[in-house]
Amino acid sequence: MKSYRSQFLGLFVFLSATTLVLTNGFVARIFAQENGAEIVTKIEPIAVVLDEIMKHYVENPDADKVIEGALIGMMNSLDDHSSYVPPQVYQEITEDTEGEFDGIGVQIKLDDDKNIVIFHPLPASPAAKAGLMGNDIIVKIDGISTEGMSLDEAKDLIRGARGTVVHLTVFRQHENEEANPELLEIDVTRGRIPLESVMESRVLDGRVGYVRISDFKKTTAHEISSRLKELEEEGMRSLILDLRWNPGGLLSASKDVAELFLPKGTKVTYTKGRHQSDGTVSEEITLYTERDPILPENFPMVLLVNEQTASSSEIVTGALQFYERALVVGMKTFGKGSVQTIIPLRRPKDSALRLTTALYYTPADVTINKHGILPDVEVPLPMEQWRDLFLQMRESWETDPAMQNQQNHGSVTGDTVDETTVEDVQLKRAVEILQEDAVWENLLKRYHKDTAETQVAAAEAKDEAVSPPVVELEAAQ
């Protein structure tokens, strides 16, 4: 066994070298500061702890896991939104924000017997072209049995580089009871699969257009634009943009979405980072709309928000409310006013940091961090009810993917109502407001509140909100 001295020295050298690699000369920048030597001294205990772990832990420790744990702890000490991003998660984040990934294009779920079942293949996807169908049970993936397999494990096996082939063994039970079940062997060539942000789009009674957005990707504004053109062709005369349960996404995407509705050259948001010793502010960015809107400026519009409306969706809410371009209906938003930058790392390979680097401000010149935006029209929907509503909406099209744009919101969507139905009172109120008057200026006078009341900076933090209920349904693979 190496001596304590030599092992400590080796670990310290390793730590210093790793620090240099990860941070492109951060140690050099530390020594350039007045308290550089003090910071280096504070780093020393990390090497001491690593040394003790490697020498005395009851089992032979996995050094990579120990170091990853240290990175996680380091980032968790900063704030609720900064974190270490391991390689697999980093890949998923990249795919999600880009709005596409390599795969075959199926949504999968677990049935009551824990089988991996195809919910439905995306239209025109490699899976659809290969003949896979909804309710097919995936028995094997490249010869590996799926018995006892989790959705994540199945997802990892199904995904792969475009142009490569995955071999699936599927069990198909036909709707026609007289037809015999089949065990099929199907080869699927992987391709590039889009991930859509638009979860619902339809025209409700009174020619009210309705579009629900799940998050903000590079492709979100284009998706909304395409759906709005379709709804206009169907006779839409007003619009509800539903940002409930929307956790946000790309900062740039919030600008792209806002410019669908605001005049060219309008300030959407600006950011401020750390104040530097020379008086400047890091991460100072101002985002303006760069093209003309796709809807007339007097086109009646409502934004639906709730306690889960956060980040980029709050930026859009703040801008459209401030410029009186939309009425905000629902409940106070989450209050995530910070900006996270994804910083790729050289080591560990393909990992990254999600680091809070700035706060964003609405056009009202306030940051709503830990406070949120108040609606113009408050419509309470208790947490238990909106959880049940969320599940009701998902279940209404789970057995028939063609019904995705006809999800059950209760009577407002024309669905049959009984004692078990959860009424979407927020959507219902939004429709009622838009049906009151076809003149946008009249609705603004009646309902719009001064943003001095609805957008104010928080004096103190609030508790974290609860995430929407998890439904055992994966995104497209």
Tell me, what CATH number does 186's domain have? 2.30.42.10
**Confidence tier at 34 by pLDDT (50, 70, 90):** low
Structure pTM? Answer: 0.78
Q: Which whole number is the average pLDDT over 58-76?
A: 85
Is 216 in contact with 196 (CB distance < 8 Å)? no
* Domain finish residue from 168, 194, 220: 194
- Residue that the structure tokens 């969706």 belong to: 313
Same domain for 262 and 236, yes or no, is yes
Which residues sit opposite 272 in a β-bridge? 359
Tell me whether strands 137-141 and 116-121 are parallel, antiparallel or unpaired. antiparallel
Q: Looking at residue 174, what DSSP letter applies? A: -
Q: Which whole number is the average pLDDT over 231-250?
A: 96
Is residue 268 included in any domain, yes or no?
yes
- Report which of residues 231 and 32 the model is more confident about: 231
Same domain for 234 and 374, yes or no, is yes
Same domain for 323 and 347, yes or no, is yes
Same domain for 229 and 147, yes or no, is no
- Report which of residues 87 and 8 the model is more confident about: 87
**Confidence tier at 282 by pLDDT (50, 70, 90):** low
Q: Domain range spanning residue 151?
A: 101-194
* Domain count along the chain: 3
Q: What are the distances in angstroms from CA 341 to CA 85, 138, 273, 338? A: 12, 38, 11, 10
Q: Check whether 220 has a pLDDT greater than 50.
A: yes
Same domain for 307 and 438, yes or no, is yes
Is residue 67 included in any domain, yes or no?
no
Same domain for 437 and 308, yes or no, is yes
Tell me, what's the pLDDT at 275?
Answer: 72
Record the tokens describing residue 324, joined without a space: 């009186």
Q: Check whether 378 has a pLDDT greater than 90.
A: yes
Same domain for 241 and 262, yes or no, is yes
Is 299 in contact with 347 (CB distance < 8 Å)? no
Is residue 205 included in any domain, yes or no?
yes
Q: Check whether 29 has a pLDDT greater than 80.
A: no
Tell me, what's the pLDDT at 470?
Answer: 31
Name the average pLDDT for the chain.
85
Same domain for 129 and 153, yes or no, is yes
**Confidence tier at 21 by pLDDT (50, 70, 90):** very low
For 406-464, how does the pLDDT look when each residue is reduced to its tens digit (9 = 90+)? 999 999 999 999 999 999 999 999 999 999 999 999 999 999 999 999 998 755 333 33
Is residue 19 included in any domain, yes or no?
yes
* Domain finish residue from 133, 162, 194: 194
Same domain for 132 and 213, yes or no, is no
Tell me, what's the pLDDT at 28?
Answer: 55
Same domain for 293 and 426, yes or no, is yes
Which residues sit opposite 185 in a β-bridge? 169
Tell me, what's the pLDDT at 460?
Answer: 38
- Report which of residues 428 and 94 the model is more confident about: 428
Is residue 96 included in any domain, yes or no?
no
Same domain for 313 and 424, yes or no, is yes
Candidates 325, 329, 338, 333; CA nearest to 296 is: 325
